[in-house]
Amino acid sequence: MLRSQFEEDLLNLHNQFYEMGMLVSDAVSKSVTSYITHDKELAKDVIDKDEHVNEHEVKLEKKSFEMIALQQPVTTDLRTIITVMKASSDLERMGDHAVSIAKSTVRVKGTKRISEIEKVISDMSDFVKKMVDNVLIAYVKTDEKDARMIAKMDKQVNEYYHEIYSNTIKVMQDHPETVVSGTDYLNVAQYLERIGDYVTNICEWIVYLATGKITELNSNRQIDEP
């Protein structure tokens, strides 16, 4: 394989990864919008389009293995390919969580809703989407500094989760008729929290791409439920 062809393939990997990331960002946003607005058609659209996210991951993985086998890249080139493979796997899992939120929308059947908690879920979703969009830009720029800053944003995601968790439990205790919807709120908040964790994973791969070092950016990511 000529060097010029290899560089073109690397650029295509970058572009395909970014496209996959934009698909996931859109899925995260639409899944929560569908949940908050009770829009089952939008939720079904998120579920249907997840196939495109999965197809992107398969193509990226296949092309990455092909490039490693044919070119036997070293140093920066190899780090680039490994980063794409690992980070695309994180994106795929983020897409899965968006689908889980959309499925929660489809399941909802006239249960008692709690507008105050749904507002916090919406705010949490906006914040998580901002993280997703920012990490894609940091990836394109191979910006280690931005990646580290974005990883720190995950602390706010966890704070959103704790707020939703504590408020939901209190409402369910005071109003048993909200148990079904409340359980869904807890699930949706946890899906969003997990997406934040996967964004942090991608931040770690950006740092690896920039420095060659495997770095754990958030050492205490596990949720400690109140």
| 193 closest CA partner among 97, 53, 102 | 97
Of residues 15 and 2, more confidently modeled: 15
pLDDT score at 222: 45
Cβ(168)–Cβ(117) below 8 Å: yes
Q: How many CB atoms lie within 10 A of CB 111?
A: 15
| 187 closest CA partner among 31, 40, 52, 54 | 31
| 97 closest CA partner among 8, 188, 177 | 188
How far apart are the C-alpha atoms of 151 and 219, rounded to whole Å? 11
**Tens-place pLDDT, residues 102-142:** 999 888 765 678 889 999 999 999 999 999 999 999 999 99
How far apart are the C-alpha atoms of 196 and 217, rounded to whole Å? 13
Report percent pLDDT > 70 for the chain: 95
Report percent pLDDT > 90 for the chain: 81
Q: What is the pTM of this model?
A: 0.91
Is the pLDDT score of 162 beyond 90? yes
**Tens-place pLDDT, residues 44-90:** 999 999 999 999 999 999 999 999 998 888 888 999 999 999 999 99
According to DSSP, residue 142 is labeled T
Number of H helices, E strands in the chain: 7, 0
Amino acid at 116: E
User: Mean pLDDT of all residues in the chain?
Assistant: 92
Cβ(206)–Cβ(135) below 8 Å: yes
pLDDT score at 137: 96
pLDDT score at 223: 44
> Which residues, in sequence order, are CB contacts of 19 under 8 Å at separation 6+?
56
Is the pLDDT score of 1 beyond 80? no
Arithmetic mean of pLDDT, 24-52: 95
Is the pLDDT score of 224 beyond 80? no
How far apart are the C-alpha atoms of 200 and 179, rounded to whole Å? 32
- Phi and psi (nearest 5°) for 158? -65, -35
Is the pLDDT score of 175 beyond 80? yes
Is the pLDDT score of 182 beyond 60? yes
**Tens-place pLDDT, residues 143-155:** 999 999 999 999 9
